[in-house]
Amino acid sequence: MASTHKFLLIFDFDETIINENSDDSVIQVAPEQELPDWLRETFQDGFYNEYMQRVLKYLGDKGVRVSDLKAVYEKIPLSPGMPTLFRFLAKNQDRFETILISDANMFGIESNIKRYGYHSLFRRVISNPTTVEKNGYLTLGPYHSHSCPQCPANMCKRKVVTEYLTERSQEGVRFENLLYVGDGANDFCPTVPFNSTDVAFPRKNYPMHKLIRKMEDKQKGSFKAKVVPWESADVVAQYLQALLNKS
């Protein structure tokens, strides 16, 4: 018989789990803690992943070791209230299937969540693949390709969520509710198809929240999911506790 997990809880990483952008944080180990203009000027909107590939190569050329990068990722602070939310999830792991989807990179994310002791909360971490090369450089690749005009070339989180739900459904797992904690424009895309029993937790006044409000301003009721903005992730923990009390 197909088993039903009540809730699939999806987290973003940068500026959601952690309180800054991990890609920006690695600049701390660059010479003089800054990147040269010629490198910064290669950035193109929608092609951040390719830009970060060049940044990591530059850092490698300048003698930055993988252990230096790891130390930076490990030190990035968690967002307000995130430890409370993670403690709540650790106590209720049987009720939530929790995954992490991020446009950052696997090495950085795993360094951080292992350091804080939350790695085991996530059934899967989905991000851009990294490799530690023989020469000691960290290299980065794109996660996949897609046809979504809204998202960066290397990752559409809506496609990732859809594929994950299909895979779980084939394994006999159905979810009654989808819950999404995020902050960025690329976290808005996967929540647009959500229905009225699903919940979007956008970080207050960040791009995801602004895009939801913009959609609602244009046409009331067009964004179907319940919207619970947060400044501290305590708000998310309280909401999830209330959900469990009802179910």
| Torsion (CA) 82, 88, 93, 96 in degrees, nearest 10 | -70
74: phi then psi, degrees, rounded to nearest 5: -65, -25
Say if residue 61 carries a ligand binding annotation. no
Task: Find out whether 73 and 20 touch, Cβ atoms under 8 Å.
Answer: no
Q: Is 217 annotated as a binding residue?
A: no
Q: What is the dihedral of CA 57, 61, 67, 73, to 10 degrees?
A: -40
Active-site entry in 14, 68, 198, 234: 14
CA–CA separation, 24 vs 32, rounded Å?
14
CA dist 214 → 54, 55, 221 (Å): 34, 34, 12
Q: Alpha-carbon distance 121 to 181, whole Å? A: 15
**What are the angstrom distances between the C-alpha of 124 and each of 10, 18, 120, 168, 171?**
10, 18, 9, 12, 15
Q: Judge contact between 155 and 49, C-beta under 8 A.
A: yes
Flag whether 37 is marked binding.
no
| Residue 198 known to be catalytic | no
With residue 167 as reference, give the H or E element that holds it: helix 157-170
45 annotated among ligand-binding-site residues:
no
12 is catalytic: yes
- Is 234 one of the annotated binding-site residues? no
Q: Choose, from 12, 37, 198, 217, the residue flagged as catalytic.
A: 12
Residues that constitute the known binding site: 12, 14, 23, 103, 183
- Which residues sit in the known binding site for Mg(2+)? 12, 14, 183
Please give the positions annotated as active site. Answer: 12, 14
Binding residues for substrate: 23, 103
